[in-house]
């Protein structure tokens, strides 16, 4: 009986550790993507402030990232 309990605890711990590592990797990827978007937005914003980029008369503008993805930014 103790053997079964020991095996069960080890199995549960390994599952928890695996889930934790998966979530940690997801969090790191999301953090990297956020930093890229933040840098893109800051460069876009500085270009707007310097007069290089002008918004159209609409309330929305499209921003292209370094990877070519388009993001819609409401201002």
pLDDT tens, position by position, 16-67: 777 788 888 999 999 999 999 999 888 888 877 777 665 553 344 555 555 5
- What does the block give as tokens for 63? 């921003």
pLDDT value at 4 more than 90 = no
Q: What angle do CA 40, 62, 41 make, to 5 degrees?
A: 20
Q: Which pLDDT value is given to residue 30?
A: 93
Q: Which pLDDT value is given to residue 53?
A: 62
- Domain hosting 17: range is 2-74
Domain count, the chain: 1
Q: Which pLDDT value is given to residue 35?
A: 93
The whole-model pTM stands at: 0.48
44 in Cβ contact with 36 (< 8 Å): no
For tokens 């390994």, what's the residue?
14
Q: Which residues pair with 72 in a beta bridge?
A: 62
């Amino acid at each position: 009986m103790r053997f079964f309990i020991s095996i069960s605890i080890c199995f549960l711990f390994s599952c928890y550790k695996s889930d934790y590592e998966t979530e940690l990797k997801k969090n790191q990827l999301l953090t990297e993507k956020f930093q890229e978007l933040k840098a893109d937005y800051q460069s876009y914003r500085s270009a707007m402030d310097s007069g290089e980029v002008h918004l159209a008369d609409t309330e929305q503008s499209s921003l292209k990232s370094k990877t070519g993805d388009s993001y819609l930014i409401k201002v």
